[in-house]
A and B are shown apart, each in its own frame.
Chain A
Amino acid sequence: MFIIKFRKYFYAFSLLLVGLSLFAIFYKGLPLGIQFTGGSLLEVVYPKTQTLEGERVSAEHPTLSRVKAQVVSALDDVTVVPTGERGFIIRTGKLDETGHKKLLEVLSFEGEYSVREKQFSFIGPTIGQELRTKAWYAIVAVVIATILYVAYAFRSVSKPVSSWKYSFVAILTLIHDCLIPTGLFAFLGLVLGYEINVLFVIAILTIFGYSINDTIVVFDRIRENLRLDQEKKKKNPKKYQARPFAEVCGKSLEQTFTRSLNTSVTVLIVVMVLYFLGSPSTQNFALVLTVGTIAGSYSSLFIATPLLVTIEQWQEKRKKTVSENSDK
């Protein structure tokens, strides 16, 4: 079908996206938040109204540049990121309680503005390092578990492509699905100050465990069609020609296109609702999941199966060259 026929274009598109993502990631490294680097984070908001002498009056708020200038004069190594109109997130190194209080005072510009703290975190370096190591272990564990499981689940499908190759293709598409949201996040980190925290890693690991689902739907169909084909051949060995692998794949894709797409649509609906309507603390999380789900659906339908065909054709070509050489 057309997906298999035009697979080169789909490969190219994916390679482009992956390339852009890698560039964004390595340009300045991943924008790690304090949960991974250690340090302090203070989120404040300058409320719209305040009570002065028993009356509610509207309150002013300082601009981003003023806040930056003010904070930089009090602390070295500090970054300020705005959230919404009147809120700011200040990141810096270790802050003990005195430092914390002093920063709040600094942010009130010595009483000129009324400032309210929304949240404050301090992460010591040990915890930060620990979380980083744990994150790596978790990622490696999920990758290995997925490779093993897919190979196991498809162990009986050895012709024409071995079950390990199904695993390999599955992992390749998963890496593609995880690189693209990460690249986007790295880009947003450069431009808007987005940061990678524990929720981000959770989202990536969830994408890993989940977006293989719609890939498996197609692979399952390929497996079933191959089996049916073999049964037909057994019944009628002389007359029945086994269908070429590419054709089986194409037919399987046609048959499962809608359902593979729909499983992703349902997740996409809820995840986008989560992004637009959910709590601010899970918004970035929802963004990563949204991009990952879209990438996952795209890769399952337009990359995974075509890759199987490409692999099978390479195998055929190598077999042909070997037999040609041995004929000479």
Chain B
Amino acid sequence: MMKFRLISIGIFLFGLGVAFFSFAPAFGLGGWVQKHFPIQLGLDLQGGTHLVYRADTSSLPSGEVEESMSALRDVIERRVNMFGVSEPLVQTSSGGILAGNAQEERLIVELPGVTDLDQAVAMIGKTPVLVFKTLREDGGVEPDLASSTKKTSTSTATTTEDATASRFESTELTGRYLKGADLRFNQLSGEPIVSLQFNDKGADLFAKITKNNVGQVVAIFLDGRPISTPVVNEPILTGEAVISGNFSLAEAKMLVGRLNAGALPVPIELISSQTIGATLGKTAFEAGVFSGVVGLLLVAVFLILWYRLPGLLAVVALGIYVSAMIAVFKLIPVTITAAGIAGLVLSIGMAVDANVLIFERMKEEIRNGKKINEAIDLGFSRAWLSIRDGNFTTIMSAVILFWFGTSLVEGFALVLGVGVILSMLTAITVTRSFLKALGVNEVRGKIRFLFGSGFTK
């Protein structure tokens, strides 16, 4: 019995520590906890925007898809960070197979706190797509243009543009290889021009293209339209190119800005968006927490009223369970969504199931004449099979749910799975230690009442 008393005190102190870790920040204490282990709120609780883009990788050679998606991710993240979004999430994912289509490459962007969809899409969607193209073999009319370093004019009429565009085929040289863009001025005319610097691989590619196309047109396409179609005078090995095309100062500045923020390696298309307002988020969070507290209290009342003394001990174990769950959320860390809170509240109701089964079994054994200690042991060992079977099916469901859920509800499956495992632990280990620590063995009078339940005597 002494052993259990010591264990119980140990558990209790540990529980207090965990509770401090989990709840102190909410009461304004334990600043260091808040700093190193802050609670991450999901979009549906703090408000924000969730976007899913489809990346068009059809023109990429298959070996380069992963690299390009990674580059895309970096570019978008840079852009988003430029606007000072706190803790944005930009990640790639593949999907679409289950819809019966070919595999799609996707980009998922989460912007907490950004509730203006327009603003969000503007941050992301308008980064330019830059492609260098060469004349096709079956090309048509020779353009009457000068060399690459002199001023050239681009067609302004759309039909002429389309005609021009159709004569070209893409090369490998795209905005992926762009190191930077600069605003310069043509030395002769003072006209604003945009100077491009490529990285090493880009410089190589550009050298190859210009070498192979001396005397030919190499066109620069931006967002699918040709903005410059100079003729290559000589191979350019420096990795620098110039775009001059009747830019106004404002246009040139804007183009430089967009190119610098990152030219997209692949074009993207928005296929899903979700914006949640901040007040909706706040009320959701408060309601969730409130329902959790009330739920916990009601379950505690039920346990004490029905199972009396063991019920009281189970309530303490439940308190430790909730603290431990929240601590686990902070440590992993788990992003808390409305579904996650619902999962936690649900798990409170499920966590006591193990206790119910054990206590009912104990009651049965006491009625059969066993002493308390033996009843406790039998209660735990005989109830174990039901607890194991029941919880296993719930964990199976949680695993499948985790795979199925979108990011907003993944948290629910995680909470459920972890909750079931943790609740088994607290119900069995913690409650058992507390019960044994009581040091009660003979079943008499008051003890009989305290270990009875419900409406029995």
- For residue A82, CB closer than 8 A to chain B, the reply is no
The answer for the CA separation of A127 and B386 in the assembled complex, in Å, is 40
Q: Quick one: closest A residue to B286, CB to CB?
A: A279
Cα–Cα, bound, A263→B358 (Å): 11
Question: Does B299 reach chain A (CB closer than 8 Å)?
Answer: yes
B271 touching A119, Cβ below 8 Å? no
Q: Which of A198-236 contact B (CB under 8 A)?
A: 198-199, 201-202, 205-206, 208-210, 212-214, 216-217, 220
Contact stretch, chosen from A64-72, A140-148, A188-196, A320-328: A140-148
A134 contacts partner chain B, Cβ-Cβ < 8 Å: yes
B346 in contact (CB, < 8 A): yes
B341 contact set on A, CB distance < 8 A: 278-279, 282
B99 touches A271 (CB 8 A): no
* Residue of A256, A268, A279 touching B349 (CB-CB under 8 A): A268
Q: Given A206-B346, A263-B357, A270-B346, A217–B98 Cβ distance below 8 Å?
A: no
Cβ of A73 < 8 Å from any Cβ of B?
A: no
By a CB distance below 8 angstroms, the chain A residues around B397 are 142, 205-206, 208-210
Q: Say whether B295 contacts A269, CB under 8 Å.
A: yes
In the bound assembly, the distance between CA atoms of A274 and B400 in angstroms comes to 23
> A198-B405, A269-B295 are contacts. A282–B342 as well, Cβ < 8 Å?
yes
Query: Does B187 count as interface, using CB distance less than 8 angstroms?
Result: no
Contact with A along B320-360 (1 / 0, CB 8 A): 00000000000000000011011001101110110011001
Of B95, B360, B390, B393, the most chain A CB neighbours within 10 A belong to B393
Query: Mostly helix, strand, loop or mixed at chain B's interface?
Result: helix
Residue of B nearest to A44 (CB): B277
- Looking at chain A's contact residues, the main secondary structure is helix
Contact A277:B396 (CB < 8 A) given known A121-B273, A124-B272, A206-B416: no
Given A119-B275, A122-B272, A217-B357, check contact A269 B302 (CB 8 Å): yes
Q: With contacts A133-B98, A266-B356 known, is A142 near B400, CB below 8 A?
A: yes
B156 within 8 A of A: no
* Other-chain residue from B280, B290, B299 in contact with A118 (beta carbon distance below 8 A): B280
Determine the chain A residues whose CB is within 8 A of the CB of B380 once the complex forms.
Answer: none
| B273-299 at interface with A (beta carbon < 8 Å) | 273-277, 279-280, 283-285, 287-288, 290-291, 294-295, 298-299
Interface status of B52 (Cβ within 8 A of chain A): yes
Confirm or deny: B32 has a beta carbon within 8 angstroms of a beta carbon on chain A: no
Q: In the complex, what distance in Å separates the CA atom of A122 from the CA atom of B118?
A: 13
Q: In the complex, what residues of A have CB within 8 A of residue B408's CB? A: 198
A267 contacts B by Cβ under 8 Å: yes
Known: A198-B406, A199-B409, A262-B360. A277 touches B346 (CB 8 A): no
Q: State whether A138 and B400 are in contact (beta carbons under 8 Å apart), knowing that A217-B357, A274-B346 are contacts in the complex.
A: yes
Question: Which residues 31-66 of A sit at the B interface, judged by CB distance below 8 A?
Answer: 43
Q: Is the CB of A123 within 8 A of B409?
A: no
- The residues of A that contact B352 with a CB separation of less than 8 Å are 263, 266
Q: Is the CB of A269 within 8 A of B299?
A: yes
B286-316 interface bits toward A, Cβ cutoff 8 Å, 1 = contact, 0 = none: 0110110011001100110010000000000
Q: Is B110's beta carbon under 8 Å from chain A?
A: no
B349 contacts A266, CB within 8 Å?
yes
User: Could you tell me if A273 and B271 are in contact, using CB atoms closer than 8 angstroms?
Assistant: no
Within 8 Å CB of A314, what residues of B? Answer: none
Residue among B104, B360, B413, B454 with the highest chain A CB neighbour number at 10 A: B360
Are B350 and A267 within 8 A (Cβ)?
A: yes
Tell yes or no: A100 within 8 A of B by CB.
Answer: yes
* Closest-CB distance, B373 to chain A (whole angstroms): 21
Question: Interface readout for B385-408 with A: 1 if CB under 8 Å, 0 if not?
Answer: 110011111111110110111101
Q: How far is the CA of A202 from the CA of B337 in the complex (A)?
A: 14
Q: Is A6 an interface residue (CB 8 A)?
A: no
Q: Report whether B277 and A100 are in contact in the complex, using a CB–CB cutoff of 8 Å.
A: no
Chain B, 152-199, CB within 8 A of any chain A CB: none
Contact B409 A269 (CB under 8 A): no
Min C-beta distance of B109 to chain A, whole Å: 14
Taken together as a complex, chains A and B put the C-alpha atoms of A256 and B285 apart, in Å, by 38
List B contacts of A134 (CB < 8 A).
98, 404
Q: Of B117, B290, B291, B356, which one neighbours A97 at CB under 8 angstroms? A: B117
CB of A28 closer than 8 Å to a CB of B: no
CB interface residues, B 68-113, toward A, < 8 Å: 95-96, 98-101, 104
A279 lies within 8 A of B285 (CB)? yes
Bound form: Cα–Cα A171–B140 in Å: 70
Residues of B within 8 A of A79 (CB): none
A19 close to chain B: CB less than 8 A: no
Q: Is B365 part of the contact surface with A, judged by Cβ < 8 Å?
A: no
19 contacting pairs across A/B (C-beta < 8 A): A122-B270, A122-B272, A122-B273, A129-B99, A135-B404, A145-B396, A202-B401, A206-B401, A213-B389, A262-B356, A270-B295, A270-B299, A270-B349, A273-B298, A274-B295, A276-B291, A279-B341, A282-B288, A282-B339
Q: Given contacts A117-B275, A134-B404, could you give 12 more A-B pairs where the C-beta distance is less than 8 Å?
A: A119-B277, A129-B100, A130-B95, A209-B394, A209-B395, A209-B397, A213-B390, A220-B385, A262-B306, A269-B299, A270-B346, A286-B342
Give chain B's interface residues, CB within 8 Å of chain A. 44, 52, 54, 95-96, 98-101, 104, 117-118, 121, 270-277, 279-280, 283-285, 287-288, 290-291, 294-295, 298-299, 302-303, 306, 338-339, 341-342, 345-346, 348-350, 352-353, 356-357, 360-361, 364, 385-386, 389-398, 400-401, 403-406, 408-409, 412-413, 416, 454
